[in-house]
Structures are given as C-alpha cells and as structure tokens.
Amino acid sequence: QVQMVESGGGSVQAGGSLRLSCDASGFTYSTYCIAWFRQATGKEREGVAGAASDGSTSYADSVKGRFTISKDNAKKTVYLQMNSLKPEDTAMYYCTARPLWITGGYSPCGVQSPRGFGYWGQGTQVNVSS
C-alpha cells in the first residue's frame, strides 16, 4: 500500500525558514520522481520542486534559489528546505510521486504539471505572515 506522509508545516514570518519532510513507502522508490506541489486557497495546484533517483532536480521559477529538495534514499524520505519565505508561499504543500519510466520512455522529473502524479499525501499547511 502506497503511503506518503508529509510533516513539518507551520507558521513563520516572512524571511523565515521551514523544512518539510515526506515519508514514502509502498513503491519502488528509486524508479520514481518524488515532488512537492502546493495549493493556495482559491488557486490551482502548482509544482514546487521534484527530485529523481539520478540526483536531478527541478524547481518552479518562483522558488529557485530559496527552496532546496533533497532525498534520503535509505530512509525513503524527501525533504523540502524552504528559506527566505514569502507570504505568497502560503499554501498547503503536498508530496507526490510518479514513475520515471512511462509508456513513451523516460520522463524527466519536472513539476510543470500534476498530470501523471498518482500518489499524493494529505498535505501539510505552511503559513507565512508579513
């Protein structure tokens, strides 16, 4: 049974930092793209960062230079270190996963769209006040 459990959300002031964690289980971790998406109230879900087993990472332009995604393969845990937080980062953050190898071949671990990500956690709320 696939499980993805997020933790680490909370409330911080602008400029502060948080580290989110995602514990994943129930699938072949090394062959999946693990990513973070977020959804603010009244807005569509958007990709934040993704990481593949080969070490490649991808980031949304809005978080480049501030957020860092990393993986502990032994623990099957993915982290999202968020620095220099802004009020516009306020959202529910979701951990998600999809296979890297699909019918058409290898699909890089991008986060332009939530399409294809079949496993989702319940989310952890991040609130950034000004």
- Written in H, E and C, the secondary structure of the chain is CCEEEEECCEEEECCCCEEEEEEEECCCHHHEEEEEEEECCCCCCEEEEEECCCCCEEECCCCCCCEEEEEECCCCEEEEEECCCCHHHCEEEEEEEEECEECCEECCCCCCCCCCCCEECCCEEEEEEC
38-64: average pLDDT: 95
**pLDDT, position 94:** 98
The per-residue pLDDT for range 7-21, each reduced to its tens digit, is 999 999 999 999 999
